Amino acid sequence: MGQYQSHALDTIAYMEEYLDRFHRMKDIFLEFQVSKQTQAKVDKQQKELRHEHAQSNQRVGLFKRPQCLKDNCSEENELCMDIIHMESHFNFVKMYLL
């Protein structure tokens, strides 16, 4: 739409909405822009967290174990995404084209 030769208020409103939507959802790109150093940090933290969970799950009964495994997986995913968001950046060429 930005390449139109002329714009009306409607087309400008559309472009503003598209840009706002892009900025709300752009974090998904961080997962694919992870450096080797960041991935190494994520792997190290996941390994430590899995070790902690393995020790704590030994004391959990058989009926509560599936829920604990689900909670552990959620915690690992949150930790992974937190590290990625702290360490990654949007410093890549296509982002500047906007």
pLDDT digits (tens, 9 = 90+) for 69-98: 788 788 888 888 888 877 776 666 666 555
Residues 51, 53, 59, 61, CA torsion sign: negative
State whether residue 15 is helix, strand or coil: helix
Residue 21: CB atoms within 10 Å: 10
Give 69's Cβ-side CA count (13 Å radius). Answer: 7
pTM, two decimals, is 0.47
Look up residue 63 and give its DSSP letter: T
Question: Residues 23-69: pLDDT tens digits?
Answer: 888 777 777 777 788 888 888 988 888 888 777 777 767 677 777 77
Could you tell me where the DSSP H helices lie in the chain?
9-25, 36-57, 65-87, 93-96
